[in-house]
Structure 1
Amino acid sequence: MDPKSQRLRLNDGHFIPVLGFGTYAPEEVPKSEALEATKYAIEVGFRHIDSAYLYQNEEQVGQAIRSKIADGTVKREDIFYTSKLWATFLRPELVRPALEKSLKNLQLDYVDLYIIHFPVALKPGEELLPTDENGKALFDTVDLCRTWEALEKCKDAGLTKSIGVSTFNHQQLERILNKPGLKYKPVCNQVECHPYLNQSKLLDFCKSKDIIPVAYSALGSQRVKGWVNLNHPVLLEDPVLHAIAKKHKQTSAVIALRYQLQRGVVVLAKS
């Protein structure tokens, strides 16, 4: 992979590698695996690393990045690192402290991209998924336009080079884009996207606004009980993908990833 040729220009002038390595893993996976997996990803050519405060592994991911810088494999400017603002930090006054907390865990001076992880606010506090005594989620009331203004200030402060969003629909995007006094547009919208959920209308809207679509779960939804119906078909076992892969002497996974790249979508190979 030639890192410089495999990039797309963001609307703020920075560049994002089209193929990223996602670091999400279920809770039962040891955090140490994030360290080893990220180091290996960098060794084989990945320069775009995607993580989040929610994943609770930024300390290990940061250690991996710093170790590959220390051994001369890459320079800091070679790495495009994405972190995410979790839903319990959407109040404007919590945004910068949340980013600074991620930077402290990473032991990095800046991130390349900081995005709103989820457009629904949860009650602030130590719990990542706060619930009441009946197990129901505890929500918060936040104006996302004010949250966005706080992200703009983080960009101006040099804590992040670019700012974007995740799992936003077009109405939520329009609220940001139509905000009076908007200083920076979102550079991206990261959403679940794969051949079974192609997001064609949302992608067209994003492209019309010069917002780069980023696909997570590009190889199909996480097969987690309670998250998806386990009786639904598995994307990588799809007969059409198999047929295309056989024709081109590739794997179904490669075809699924190439599908996104040919649509102008940045793709996360694992997240």
Structure 2
Amino acid sequence: MEEFDLQSLLSSNEKLIIRLLQSYAQTNDIAVFVLGNDDHLQAGIFGELSESALLIRKDKKADLSKLSVNKYKYHIEYADSPIRISQLNQRVGKICVAKDTPEASPKRLDLMQKLNDQVVYLRCMVEGISKLIIENRGIDDFIIKYALDVNDAIDDLDDSDGKALQQIKTMSTSNASIISAIEYIDSNLDKRLTLDQVSSKVYLSDYYFSKLFKRETGLSFSVYLNARKIQKAMLLLKESDKSINDISDSLGFTRLSYFSQTFKKYTGVAPTKYRTEGNN
């Protein structure tokens, strides 16, 4: 498993990117900060927010994933944009900008548009400088390699397949990457999807994506994927005349025996029994 070291990139070349972000924040009277893919601060908040803004009290361990939703709570206007590393074709975090604003300010819409323009400019700047730094030093200088985490493997085994079908009915997330991933999965249940394929679609490393997916959904990627396939199989068994073999093929299973085994693991009954007894 590999992870891109965003903090190392920000601090490289005598903290060039950090100094540029600090200067931009001061010049434009806004706050600028960088979040990793785990939505945690990477190098502090540059610029100033009023003492009444709760955001300024956040430390590096705080999860800011709900910032766009909670901006009114912090009395700020806010915008962000993903940072992508072209050499990896991956998203490694996001650049964020914020500014204090009264809750009922008539100019809030104008401020929001201005912040959106500023964050796009900063994203282009960070990505351009990052590309030059990585080309000069080599991508390996910014890659952290992990051995397979035994705890992660155990977590996957702990997922209750039987409860997964119930869990996905009430599952919710506000994370844009996971929403996009779920939409892609749900639109491609006929294919044999892998973690690498789906993570690349949302420009995340498989390491980040696996962690983020489990955190946001409560299920591992493989359990969610199988649960959605079985959920669709249940519908087809009840509402279509397709044979069980055809249903298995249409959901990307290579062997009927494996489909039947998976179906029983998630529902408690075999596909044939589910169809004949009309289980809900």
TM-score category of the 2 structures, normalised to the smaller one? under 0.3
TM-score of the two chains, using structure 2 as the length reference: 0.22
Higher helix fraction: Structure 1 or Structure 2?
2
TM-score of the two chains, using structure 1 as the length reference: 0.22
Structure possessing the higher radius of gyration over alpha carbons? 2
